[in-house]
Amino acid sequence: MSAVIQSIDTQLVDLPTIRPHQLSMTTMACQTLVIVRLRDSDGIEGLGEGTTIGGLAYGPESPESIKRNIDTYLAPLLIGQEASNINALRARLARHARGNMIAKSALETALLDAQGKRLGLSVAELLGGARQTHLPVLWTLASGDTQKDIDEAELRLAQRRHCDFKLKIGARSVAEDVAHVAAIKAALGERASVRVDVNQAWDETSAVRGIHALQEAGIELIEQPIPAREHAGLVRLANRFRVPMLADEAVQDARDGLDLVGAGFGGAFALKIAKAGGPLGAIELGRLAQTAGIGLYGGTLLEGTIGTAASLHAWATLGEMAWGTEMFGPLLLKDDIVAEPLDFHDFGVELPSGPGLGVTLDEDKLAHYSRQ
């Protein structure tokens, strides 16, 4: 008899960050993870994670709404269903619940983890097999202080932890942001790649001015300079400058990707399991991009180890990520809730091994950081 889903529990887990993390829309000193524990009738437990940035500062889902909507609406759609038919369960969630992509991603991750454990396969093997097991990882410099960011980058280079860096900008004037970024690139020179993420903070006119200056400073990639819905403007910017544009919030899933490709966009796509509703949706977008000759970048919503591991299993199946990944979320946190942390070394991270995600909870740490 096939295993059925018996229960789905969620917990809010609050983990402090190693330093304030400044973005255009908020500054974070704590990250809240929504941990999903899905239990099946054969005794298998699958783990999932839903994470966003800064409560409601980033998008329409907050940690509290993710938990509440899973508990109230999404979990009842899955409980009692056959656990192994993940495609049917994805379709069931899509048919009965709109949006809520982060919540759906957490559930899909738990389903994949459980199925991998059931079959003795890693999630990457379930998804077709890993084409790489060591993935490059950049580091985001987001203290907001130029000298602190330079010192932090120098330390990461010396540790052989990271050699690509992204700067979060958009909270200050264009001139101030450009001066900040240019000084860091000048200090690091050719030893490191420097990119920026504007997090939708500029209008198109400001973007033209800012991107021109950043291009002259040697910046290699510009992420989401204008609001997500302004597809035509993003295409114009991509066609105007030598430096590539990275679509992030503008490309949630394969449909968005098709629209941008059809409009003539020639930059790169940031994949995120959270915005695509799970690893399977992110892979669908990645395959579309590869077919269209669009470069790939493995993005994060600053997930902890569970969500990061799920992303890594997905990215590993896609082969070359032209722009690498930013799966550094666990390194931004002061502590972890897993028994064995991910292995970061030589400017990247190892794909976790073992059945499912290859991640085991530390129950004491989980209890300590769980919100009461």
| Per-residue pLDDT tens listing for the chain (372 residues) | 589 999 999 999 999 999 877 766 677 789 999 999 999 999 999 999 999 988 888 889 999 999 999 999 999 999 999 999 999 999 999 999 999 999 999 999 999 999 999 999 999 999 999 999 999 999 999 888 999 999 999 999 999 999 999 999 998 999 999 999 999 999 999 999 999 999 999 999 999 999 999 999 999 999 999 999 999 999 999 999 999 999 999 999 999 999 999 999 999 999 999 999 999 999 999 999 999 999 999 999 999 999 999 999 999 999 889 999 999 999 999 999 999 999 999 999 999 999 999 999 999 999 999 998
pLDDT of residue 249: 95
148 is catalytic: no
Evaluate whether 16 touches 29 at the Cβ level (below 8 Å).
Answer: yes
Q: Please tell me the distance from the alpha carbon of residue 317 to that of residue 347, in angstroms, as a whole number.
A: 20
Per-residue confidence (pLDDT) for residue 96, from 0 to 100? 98
Name residue, tokens 């960050």. Answer: 17
Report the alpha-carbon distance of residue 3 to residue 29 in Å, rounded.
41
Task: Compute the distance between CA of residue 166 and CA of residue 148 in angstroms, rounded to an integer.
Answer: 14
pLDDT at res. 360: 98
Between β-strands 344-345 and 295-298, what pairing exists: parallel, antiparallel or unpaired?
unpaired
Q: Return the DSSP state at 331.
A: G
Report pLDDT for 213: 97
State the pairing for strand pair 344-345/348-350.
antiparallel
326 belongs to the catalytic site: yes
Helix (H) or strand (E) holding 91: helix 86-96
234/263 Cα distance (integer angstroms): 10
The pTM (predicted TM-score) of the whole model is 0.94
Report the amino acid identity of residue 68. Answer: R
Of 104, 168, 272, 275, which residue is the catalytic one?
A: 168
- Residue 365 burial by CB count (10 A; 0-12/13-18/19+): exposed, middle or buried? middle
Apex 328 CA angle, 139 and 159, nearest 5: 55
Catalytic member of 49, 108, 303, 326: 326
Terminal Cα-to-Cα distance of the chain (whole angstroms):
38
Q: Identify the structural domains of the chain with CATH numbers, from first to last.
A: 5-120+363-369 (3.30.390.10), 126-350 (3.20.20.120)
